[in-house]
Amino acid sequence: MRYEFLVGLRYTRSRKRAQGRNRFISFISFVSMLGIALGVAALIVVLSVMNGFQEELRSRILGVASHVQVQSMDGGLYNWQQVAEDARRHPSVLATAPYVQEQGMLSFDEGVRGTIVRGVIPSEEDKVADFGAYMKAGSFDALQAGRFGIVLGRDLALALRVQLGDKVTLIAPQGLVTPAAVLPRVKQFEVVGVFEAGMYEYDSGLALVHVEDAQALYRLGDAVSGVRLKLADLFAAPRVARELAGLITEPGLMVNDWTRSHANFFRAVALEKTMMTLILFLIVAVAAFNIVSTLVMAVQEKYADIAILRTLGASPASIMTIFVLQGSIIGLVGLLAGVVGGLAIANNLDVVIPALEAVTGATLWNKEIYYINELPSKVLPADVISIVSVSFVLTLLAALYPSWRASRVNPAEALRYE
Report helix, strand or coil for 109: coil
Give bridge partners of residue 229 from the DSSP assignment.
Answer: 68, 96
Inter-residue contact 211 to 150 (CB < 8 Å): no
pLDDT (tens digit, 9 = 90+) per residue, 57-115? 777 777 787 888 888 877 788 888 888 888 888 888 999 999 999 999 999 988 899 99
Question: What does the alpha-carbon distance between residue 190 and residue 296 come to, in Å, rounded to a whole number?
Answer: 77
pLDDT (tens digit, 9 = 90+) per residue, 217-272? 888 888 898 899 998 888 888 888 888 887 887 777 888 888 887 777 777 777 87
Residue 16: the pLDDT is 47
DSSP state of 165: T
Ranges 3-12, 70-79, 223-232, 372-381: which has the least confidence = 3-12
pLDDT (tens digit, 9 = 90+) per residue, 146-192? 889 999 999 999 999 999 989 999 988 776 666 655 667 888 999 99
Which parts of 201-318 are beta strand (E)? 206-210, 226-231, 253-257
Q: Which helix (H) or strand (E) holds 177?
A: strand 167-177
Which residue, among 71, 41, 8, has the nearest Cα to 295 in the 3D structure? Answer: 8
Assess whether pLDDT exceeds 60 at residue 19: no
Residue 55's CB is within 10 A of a number of other CB atoms, namely 13
Residue 115: the pLDDT is 92
Average pLDDT over residues 373-400: 83
Rg (CA), the chain: 32
Residue 417: the pLDDT is 56
Report which residue type is found at 63.
Answer: G
Report helix, strand or coil for 43: helix
CA 192 to the chain's CA centroid: 34
What's the chain's length in residues? 418
What is the band of 369 on the pLDDT scale with cuts at 50, 70, 90? low
Inter-residue contact 258 to 62 (CB < 8 Å): yes
Strands 206-210 and 111-120: parallel
Residue 175: the pLDDT is 65
Question: What does the alpha-carbon distance between residue 381 and residue 197 come to, in Å, rounded to a whole number?
Answer: 29
Q: Which helix (H) or strand (E) holds 113?
A: strand 111-120
Report which residue type is found at 344.
Answer: A
